[in-house]
Structure 1
Amino acid sequence: MKEKSLRRKDQIIPPKGKLGVLIPGVGGAVSTTFIAGVELVRRGLAEPIGSLTQLGTIRLGKRFEHRAPKIKEFVPLTDPGQLVFGGWDLYEANGFEAAMYARVLSRDHLESIKDYLTGIVPMKAVFDRRFVRNLDGTHIKKGNSLRKHVEALKEDIGQFKAANGLERCIMIWCGSTEIHLKQEAIHQSIDALQRAIDANDSRIPPSMLYAVAALECGVPFINGAPNLTLDIPAMLELAEQANVPIAGKDFKTGQTLMKTILAPGLKSRMLGLEGWYSTNILGNRDGLVLDDKDSFKTKEESKLSVLEYILQPHLYPTLYKNYYHKVTINYYPPRGDNKEGWDCIDIFGWLGYPMQIKVDFLCRDSILAAPLILDLVLLTDLAQRVGMNGIQEWLSFYFKSPMHKESLYPEHDIFIQSMKLKNTLRYLMGEEQITHFGLDYYLNGEER
Structure 2
Amino acid sequence: MAEPFLVDSPDVTYSKDFIEAKYTYSTVHVCKENGVTKVRPCSTRFTFRTGRQVPRLGVMLVGWGGNNGTTVTAAVLANRLGLSWMTKTGRKTANYYGSLLQASTVCLGTGPSGDVYVPFRDLLPMVHPNDIVFDGWDISSLNLAEAMRRAEVLEWPLQEQLWPHMEKMKPRPSIYIPEFIAANQEERADNVLSGPMAQQVEQIRRDIRDFKESSGVDKVIVLWTANTERFCDIVPGLNDTADNLLRAIERGLEVSPSTLFAVASILEGCAYINGSPQNTFVPGAVELAAQRRVFIGGDDFKSGQTKLKSVLVDFLVGAGLKTKSIVSYNHLGNNDGKNLSAPQQFRSKEISKSNVVDDTVQANPVLYGPQDKPDHCVVIKYVPYVGDSKRALDEYTSEIMMGGTNTIVIHNTCEVREVPTASPGCPQGVPGWLLTPGCPQDSLLASPIILDLAILTELCQRISFRTEADPEFQGFHSVLSILAFLCKAPLVPEGSPVVNALFRQRSCIENILRYRGHPVPMGTQCHHPRAQRGAHSLAGWGTQGARGSQCPPWGVQIQGVLELEARGAQCWGWVPVAPVGPSMSW
Q: The TM-score by the shorter chain falls in which range? A: over 0.9
Note if contact 1:8-1:430 (Cα within 8 Å) is conserved in structure 2. no
- 2:279 is the counterpart of 1:228: yes
Look up the SS of the partner of 2:448 in the other structure: helix
Q: Match of 1:380, as an amino acid? A: T
Once the two structures are superposed, residues 13-70 of structure 1 have per-residue CA deviations (whole angstroms, 9 ceiling, x without a partner) of: 3444521110000000011111101111112221111112112222234587734222
Give distance in 2, aligned partners of 1:246 and 1:367.
24
- 2:191 is the counterpart of 1:139: yes
Give distance in 2, aligned partners of 1:354 and 1:162.
62
- 2:25 is the counterpart of 1:9: no
Look up the SS of the partner of 1:417 in the other structure: helix
Q: How does 1:95-106 map to 2 (within 5 A)?
A: 95-106=144-155
Partner of 2:446: 369
Partner of 2:456: 379
After alignment, is 110-119 or 311-320 more displaced? 311-320
Residue of 253, 256, 270 corresponding to 2:320: 270
After alignment, is 431-440 or 30-39 more displaced? 431-440
- 2:115 is the counterpart of 1:38: no
- Residues 301 and 446 of structure 1, relative CA distance in 2, 3 Å threshold: farther
Partner of 1:55: 103
- Residues 20 and 438 of structure 1, relative CA distance in 2, 3 Å threshold: closer
Partner of 2:132: 83
**What's the C-alpha RMSD, in Å, of the aligned pairs?**
2.2
Partner of 2:302: 252
- Residues 206 and 349 of structure 1, relative CA distance in 2, 3 Å threshold: same
User: How many residues are matched?
Assistant: 439
Give distance in 1, aligned partners of 2:524 and 2:373.
33
- Residues 439 and 120 of structure 1, relative CA distance in 2, 3 Å threshold: closer
Q: Match of 2:149, as an amino acid? A: M
Give distance in 1, aligned partners of 2:241 and 2:531.
54
Look up the SS of the partner of 2:331 in the other structure: strand
Partner of 2:249: 197
Give how far 1:272 is off: 1.8
Give distance in 2, aligned partners of 1:316 and 1:187.
40
Give how far 1:430 is off: 4.0
Residue of 498, 502, 514 corresponding to 1:410: 498
Once the two structures are superposed, residues 84-136 of structure 1 have per-residue CA deviations (whole angstroms, 9 ceiling, x without a partner) of: 11000011111110010000111111111112111221000011001013311
- Residues 200 and 172 of structure 1, relative CA distance in 2, 3 Å threshold: same
In the superposition, the TM-score normalised over structure 2's length comes to 0.71
Q: Match of 2:521, as an amino acid? A: Q
Look up the SS of the partner of 2:246 in the other structure: helix
Q: Match of 2:151, as an amino acid? A: A
Give distance in 2, aligned partners of 1:79 and 1:411.
28
- Residues 213 and 69 of structure 1, relative CA distance in 2, 3 Å threshold: same
Give distance in 2, aligned partners of 1:411 and 1:298.
20
Write 1 or 2 for the structure with the bigger share of strand: 2
Q: How does 1:94-133 map to 2 (within 5 A)?
A: 94-133=143-182
Partner of 1:26: 64
Give distance in 2, aligned partners of 1:348 and 1:233.
40
After alignment, is 234-243 or 79-88 more displaced? 234-243
Look up the SS of the partner of 1:69 in the other structure: strand
Partner of 2:335: 285
Partner of 2:34: none
Once the two structures are superposed, residues 134-182 of structure 1 have per-residue CA deviations (whole angstroms, 9 ceiling, x without a partner) of: 3111110012x11111100000111111111122111110011101223
* Structure 2: 5+ residue stretches without partners: 1-16, 21-48, 84-93, 414-438, 464-474, 537-586
Note if contact 2:107-2:526 (Cα within 8 Å) is conserved in structure 1. no
Give how far 1:440 is off: 8.0
Note if contact 1:59-1:69 (Cα within 8 Å) is conserved in structure 2. yes
Q: How does 1:174-185 map to 2 (within 5 A)?
A: 174-185=225-236
Give how far 1:395 is off: 1.4
Q: Match of 1:367, as an amino acid? A: L
- Residues 446 and 238 of structure 1, relative CA distance in 2, 3 Å threshold: farther
After alignment, is 252-261 or 56-65 more displaced? 56-65
Q: Match of 2:392, as an amino acid? A: G
Note if contact 2:61-2:135 (Cα within 8 Å) is conserved in structure 1. yes
Give how far 1:408 is off: 2.0
Write 1 or 2 for the structure with the bigger share of helix: 1
Note if contact 1:287-1:330 (Cα within 8 Å) is conserved in structure 2. yes
Give distance in 2, aligned partners of 1:47 and 1:384.
27
Note if contact 2:80-2:130 (Cα within 8 Å) is conserved in structure 1. yes
Look up the SS of the partner of 1:299 in the other structure: helix
Look up the SS of the partner of 1:390 in the other structure: coil
Note if contact 1:244-1:388 (Cα within 8 Å) is conserved in structure 2. no
Look up the SS of the partner of 2:106 in the other structure: coil
Look up the SS of the partner of 1:170 in the other structure: strand
In the superposition, the TM-score normalised over structure 1's length comes to 0.93
Give distance in 2, aligned partners of 1:98 and 1:406.
39
Report percent identity of matched pairs: 31
Q: How does 1:151-190 map to 2 (within 5 A)?
A: 151-185=202-236, 186-190=238-242
Partner of 1:3: none
Note if contact 2:303-2:445 (Cα within 8 Å) is conserved in structure 1. yes
Look up the SS of the partner of 2:389 in the other structure: coil
Give distance in 2, aligned partners of 1:163 and 1:413.
42
After alignment, is 74-83 or 429-438 more displaced? 429-438
- Residues 198 and 322 of structure 1, relative CA distance in 2, 3 Å threshold: closer
After alignment, is 418-427 or 7-16 more displaced? 7-16
Give distance in 2, aligned partners of 1:237 and 1:160.
26
Partner of 1:4: none
Note if contact 1:60-1:431 (Cα within 8 Å) is conserved in structure 2. no
* Structure 1: 5+ residue stretches without partners: 1-6
Note if contact 2:361-2:368 (Cα within 8 Å) is conserved in structure 1. no
Partner of 2:31: none
Q: Match of 1:338, as an amino acid? A: S
Residue of 328, 332, 346 corresponding to 2:379: 328
Give distance in 1, aligned partners of 2:251 and 2:360.
41
